[in-house]
C-alpha cells in the first residue's frame, strides 16, 4: 500500500472508532480530504483508494485539480472550504457540490442568483468566526441568526455551519460553540476538525472533518 492509501485507511478507522466511542452512527462523520496544494499523483492515489469527497479552498486551483476528473467520477463530491469572492461565484456553483463558506449577505445574493441561473441547488454551510478574529472570515456568532434567516429567505439550502478555530485556543471549545449554534438554528451539518483535531470534533457532532496534511503529507 502507498503511504497515502495507508493514511486514508488509518484515518477512516480512527473516525469510525471515535463515532463508536461517542455513540454516533457509523459513517455520520464524513472525511473531506483536503487536496489543496497537492500533486496530481497524490490526487490520483486518493481516487484509487475509492475516496470521492474532497475539499479545496480556491476556485481556480480546484478547477485545475478536478474539472477533468468529473466526467470519469460521477460520484465525486467537491466542497469549497475557502473564502469565496462574488466574481468567482459562477465558476464555484458550476464546479462544487457544497459551499462551506457562506459568510455575508452579498455572497448569499450572488449564490442564490447563480444557482437559479444554472439550475443547481447546492447545500451550503455558513462559516462562523467562533474566535471573533479580525483577520478571519466567517460571520460573528452574534450575527449568525440574521444571516441564516436572510439566506433561507433567499432560498439558499443552508444545511449547517463550519468553523476554523483560532490556532492558539483549544479547538474543542469552538466545536462545542458551533454545535450549540447549529442546535439553536436546527441545522444538521457541522464542518469542523482538521488534521490536528478531527478526533476531538467527532464527539462534538462533526458531520464533516476536513483533513489535508494527515492524509497527503505536507503541502508543496
Residues that bind ligand PLP (CB under 6 A): 34, 36, 57, 81-82, 164, 194-195, 210-214
Residue with cell string 496530481: 40
CA dist 81 and 54 (Å) reads 10
Q: Pick between residue 58 and residue 154 the one whose CB is nearest to ligand PLP.
A: 58
Q: Pick between residue 39 and residue 213 the one whose CB is nearest to ligand PLP.
A: 213
Contact 47, 54 (CB under 8 A): no
The CA distances from residue 175 to 1, 72, 95, 96, in Å, are 34, 36, 28, 25
Give min distance, CB of 10 to ligand PLP, in A.
Answer: 14
Q: Pick between residue 13 and residue 117 the one whose CB is nearest to ligand PLP.
A: 13
Q: Pick between residue 4 and residue 164 the one whose CB is nearest to ligand PLP.
A: 164
Give min distance, CB of 99 to ligand PLP, in A.
Answer: 12
Give residue number: closest CB to ligand PLP: 212
Q: DSSP code of 87?
A: G
Give min distance, CB of 144 to ligand PLP, in A.
Answer: 18
Q: DSSP code of 218?
A: S
Nearest to 197 by CA among 188, 210, 186: 210
Give min distance, CB of 194 to ligand PLP, in A.
Answer: 4
Amino acid at each position: 500500500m502507498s503511504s497515502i492509501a495507508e493514511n486514508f485507511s488509518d484515518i477512516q478507522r480512527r473516525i469510525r472508532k471515535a463515532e463508536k466511542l461517542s455513540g454516533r452512527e457509523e459513517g455520520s462523520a464524513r472525511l473531506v480530504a483536503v487536496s489543496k496544494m497537492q500533486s496530481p499523483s497524490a490526487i490520483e492515489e486518493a481516487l484509487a483508494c475509492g475516496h470521492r469527497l474532497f475539499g479545496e479552498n480556491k476556485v481556480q486551483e480546484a478547477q485545475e485539480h478536478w474539472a477533468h476528473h468529473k466526467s470519469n467520477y460521477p460520484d465525486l463530491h467537491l466542497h469549497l472550504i475557502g473564502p469565496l469572492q462574488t466574481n468567482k461565484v459562477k465558476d464555484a456553483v458550476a464546479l462544487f457540490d457544497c459551499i462551506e463558506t457562506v459568510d455575508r449577505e452579498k455572497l448569499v445574493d450572488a449564490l442564490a442568483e447563480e444557482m437559479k441561473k444554472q439550475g443547481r441547488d447546492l447545500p451550503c454551510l455558513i462559516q462562523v468566526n467562533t474566535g471573533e478574529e479580525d483577520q478571519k472570515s466567517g460571520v460573528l456568532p452574534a450575527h449568525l441568526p440574521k444571516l441564516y434567516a436572510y439566506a433561507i429567505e433567499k432560498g439558499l439550502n443552508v444545511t449547517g455551519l463550519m468553523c476554523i478555530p483560532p490556532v492558539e485556543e483549544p479547538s474543542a471549545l469552538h466545536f462545542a460553540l458551533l454545535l450549540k449554534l447549529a442546535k439553536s438554528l436546527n441545522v444538521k451539518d457541522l464542518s469542523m476538525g482538521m488534521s490536528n483535531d478531527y478526533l476531538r470534533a467527532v464527539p462534538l457532532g462533526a458531520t464533516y472533518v476536513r483533513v489535508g496534511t494527515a492524509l497527503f503529507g505536507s503541502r508543496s
